[in-house]
Amino acid sequence: MNGTGAAVPGKQDGASQDQRSKKRRKRRRGRKVYARDGAPAPNGGAARAEAVAPTAHAAPAAPDLVRASKTVEKMPGGAGMAPWRRPGGNAPAYAALDLGTNNCRLLVAVPTRPGQFRVVDAFSRIVRLGEGLTGSGRLGELAMHRAVEALKNCAEKLASRDIRKARLIATEACRSAENGAEFLARVTENTGLVLEVIDRETEARLAVSGCGSLVEGDTEGVVLFDIGGGSSEIALIDISARRTGRLADHIVSWTSLPVGVVSLSERFGGRHVTPEIFAAMVEDVAGMLDAFEGREKLGEIARSERFHLLGTSGTVTTLAGIFLELPRYDRRRVDGLWMDAGDVDRMVSNLVGWEFDQRVANPCIGPDRADLVLAGCAILEAIRKVWPSQRLRVADRGLREGILAELMAEDGAWRRGRENRQQRA
pLDDT (0 to 100) of residue 115:
82
pLDDT (0 to 100) of residue 114:
84
CA distance 302 to 316: 20
CB of 389 within 8 A of CB of 309? yes
Mean model confidence pLDDT for the chain: 82
- pLDDT tens for 401-425 read 999 999 999 999 888 655 565 555 5
> What CATH number is given for 215-401 in this structure?
3.30.420.150
φ/ψ of residue 227, rounded to 5: -85, 105
CB of 322 within 8 A of CB of 343? no
| Span(s) in the chain for CATH 3.30.420.40 | 42-200
pTM: 0.76
pLDDT value at 9 more than 70: no
∠ CA 163-249-413, rounded to 5°: 25
CA distance 401 to 117: 9
CA distance 262 to 179: 18
Q: Which of 113-117, 124-128, 176-180, 396-400 has the lowest mean pLDDT?
A: 113-117
Q: Which of 45-54, 128-137, 151-160, 415-424 has the lowest mean pLDDT?
A: 45-54
- pLDDT tens for 231-289 read 999 999 999 998 887 889 999 999 999 999 999 999 999 999 999 999 999 999 999 99
Architecture, CATH, for domain 42-200: 2-Layer Sandwich (3.30)
CB of 33 within 8 A of CB of 47? yes
| Span(s) in the chain for CATH 3.30.420.150 | 215-401
